[in-house]
Amino acid sequence: MAVRLIFPLVLALACASPVMAEPMSAGPWAAATQPADDNPSSIGSAAAGCLTGAQALPPDSAGLQTLRPQRNRAWSHPRTLDYLTKLGHDAQAQGLAPLLVGDLSQPRGGPMAFGHGSHQNGLDVDIWFRLPGKPLKAAELSSPVPVSMVKGRKVNPKTWGARQLKLLQLAAADPRVDRIFVNPAIKAAACKSSHGDWLAKLRPWWGHDEHFHVRLSCAEGDTNCQPQAAVPPGDGCGAELQSWLNKATILPDLGEKPNTRRPNLPAICSAILDQPGPREAANR
Ligand SMILES: [Zn+2]
């Protein structure tokens, strides 16, 4: 109980003074197996941040299946879980379920030992374009096979289709969505067969050919959360997209390499790493 009284004070102090930053390796963040026992809050940015009061995506969420549960990366801000819960129901209603949900965040957010440079403050989630049409078995969920939607510089008509476009539209429709990262070839396909404001949320980025990456905006009142600059005006289907399509490579094989980046995390994140987990807190 003492933790709940003391920790908001720490947060208040951090808000009152300029946020100091310190470089941190992924090691201690990847080792944390339980969330910090406090009110849910996203701290810092997606690429340099951490998370308190994280909750795990329930494995039996309607319309959703969690990939690679052994990674313990299905933790998030409740805002993201609420978004996913709604998306799962929408996907069921549209005949797209189950959706395959990739990584969210670690129990306390922070940098990861391998893979993503972001997913650090509980507002990022990867969702696969692959729509299996029936639930995957446990063994497949542990070691799923990704399916690329892109061939060369265009979408692959054998894998990309109207169902994938519908899924992207559903995912982007929620006002909590700040942006969605997709391969430039996928943005081009969406621009070709659709129109409207929702296209502005689709941001071209390397990879993202077998999954898309949803980033939500900061929760209201989450004063330690650092929002990203707004997406540029317009649908982004013109010169910006073309500049991506003109790049030498639009589909690099990044794989999941060890993360050697040491982001400058807000100083308050060090305290979050030291907070007790829910079980430890209950024993005090
Ligand atoms: Zn991602």
| Residue range 59-92, pLDDT digits in tens | 889 999 999 999 999 999 999 999 999 999 999 9
Three-state DSSP state, 281: helix
Cis peptide upstream of residue 232 (ω within 30 degrees of 0): no
At residue 58, does pLDDT exceed 50?
A: yes
Question: How remote is the CA of residue 242 from the centroid of ligand 1, in Å?
Answer: 23
Question: How remote is the CA of residue 281 from the centroid of ligand 1, in Å?
Answer: 31
- Report the length, in residues, of the chain: 284
Q: Find out whether 148 and 207 touch, Cβ atoms under 8 Å.
A: no
State the sign of the Cα–Cα–Cα–Cα dihedral 175, 178, 183, 185. Answer: positive
Domain map of the chain by residue range? 2-282
Helix (H) or strand (E) holding 215: strand 211-216
In 10 A of CB 33, how many CB atoms?
10
φ, ψ (nearest 5 deg) of residue 224:
-90, -5
DSSP character for 114? Answer: B
Question: How remote is the CA of residue 3 from the centroid of ligand 1, in Å?
Answer: 32
Question: How remote is the CA of residue 195 from the centroid of ligand 1, in Å?
Answer: 25
Question: How remote is the CA of residue 94 from the centroid of ligand 1, in Å?
Answer: 24
| End-to-end C-alpha distance for the chain, whole angstroms | 8
Question: How remote is the CA of residue 126 from the centroid of ligand 1, in Å?
Answer: 5
- Tens of pLDDT, residue by residue over 163-201, are 999 999 999 999 999 999 999 999 999 999 999 989 999
CATH class of residue range 2-282: alpha beta
Higher pLDDT, 153 or 124: 124
Q: Which residues pair with 203 in a beta bridge?
A: 181
Q: How far is Cα 275 from Cα 253, in angstroms, rounded to an integer?
A: 37
- Tens of pLDDT, residue by residue over 133-153, are 999 999 999 999 999 999 988
Dihedral angle over CA of 31, 5, 2, 46, nearest 10:
0
In 10 A of CB 193, how many CB atoms?
10
